[in-house]
Amino acid sequence: MDHGIQGRTADETGASSGIGLATEHALAAEGARVVMVARNTDRLHVAAAAIDGDVSTLAADVTDPRTPDRIGSADILVNNAGTSAARPLEDLTDDEWQAQWDLHVMAPLRLMRALAPAMAERGWGRIVNVGSSSGKRASRTNSAYSVTKAAQHMLSRVFAEEYVTRGVLVNTVAPGPTESGLWTAEGGLADQTAELRGVSREDALQAARDKIPLGRFGTEEEVAAVIAFLCSERASDVVGANWSVDGGTVPLPL
Ligand SMILES: NC(=O)c1ccc[n+]([C@@H]2O[C@H](COP(=O)([O-])OP(=O)(O)OC[C@H]3O[C@@H](n4cnc5c(N)ncnc54)[C@H](OP(=O)(O)O)[C@@H]3O)[C@@H](O)[C@H]2O)c1
């Protein structure tokens, strides 16, 4: 299927690894001119070098209010930067709550606020916010993650309604547990959960798999395929949706 985005400019945050990097491969393969945003310059350059297509990079922290000006205008925006850590509710500090809010709500808010008006002036735009199944039902792995992802989902819906008549289509993709570094890297969620629960890493991973009706984690490419579709011309009647890519984890079509 031709996504119809040849020559479109696509800014994506959190683009140097995991779901973001897989999305960059998918968008570049469709002929989009991708701009990869993440903090670590070396990792960005290594990731960009592996992509076949028109690729540029910007080393920036999305929680810095000056970042939207540095990123510049685009036809497509993917707000993908995000992270979590296994933290019991009673241990979460105010700073941790604030950091999750800044990353999952303020950063995508500022980027949409900066980029959506120019998309609307040109009469075409696509924005995808990468939320989480944890934003659709309470997750006790990290309540601050769960609450701020839920807020990100509503932020996405608010922008969808605001811009729908001006050619800018805003949607959310809500992955469930996905085989990216966030879960599987050394010290990632698998190791952290294992330590918190006093079980082995494999037992922690199996406990997570047991909660997924499909019986396995998603892959970065499976999530990226849905994001890329929602960035495309083909998704011309999809607005304000919140698409689960979670192997059936969240039982309600929220
Ligand atoms: N993996 C899962 O199981 C899962 C499940 C549900 C939802 N999600 C969501 O999917 C998105 C991607 O997750 P992932 O698993 O692909 O994560 P990942 O592999 O850890 O990649 C995260 C990316 O975000 C960048 N990043 C983090 N903080 C940033 C900041 N402040 N400014 C700019 N870039 C930043 C990282 O690069 P630098 O560190 O160099 O900045 C990296 O490129 C996140 O929003 C996450 O919440 C993931």
pLDDT digits (tens, 9 = 90+) for 29-68: 999 999 999 999 999 999 999 999 999 999 999 999 999 9
> What local confidence, expressed as pLDDT, does residue 194 receive?
96
Determine the residue of 11, 19, 184, 211 to mutate for testing ligand 1's pocket, defined as the one with the most ligand atoms within 8 A of the Cβ atom: 19
**Hey, what are 199's tokens?**
């079980």
> What local confidence, expressed as pLDDT, does residue 26 receive?
98
Phi, psi of 35 (to 5 degrees): -115, 115
pLDDT at 254 over 80: no
CB 146 within 8 A of CB 187: no
pLDDT digits (tens, 9 = 90+) for 94-134: 999 999 999 999 999 999 999 999 999 999 999 999 999 99
Greatest pairwise CA separation for the chain in angstroms: 55
CB 91 within 8 A of CB 135: no
26: helix, coil or strand? helix
Domains of the chain with CATH codes: 9-245 (3.40.50.720)
Q: How far is the CA of 6 from the centre of ligand 1 (A)?
A: 26
Provide mean pLDDT across the span 222-230: 98
Helix (H) or strand (E) segment spanning residue 167: none
The residue nearest atom 2 of ligand 1, judged by CA position, is: 178
Indicate if 163 belongs to the active site.
no
Average pLDDT in the chain: 97
Binning pLDDT at 50, 70 and 90, where does residue 252 land? Answer: confident
Look up the pTM and report it. Answer: 0.98
**Hey, what are 19's tokens?**
């779901």
The finding on whether 209 has its CB within 6 A of some atom of ligand 1 is: no
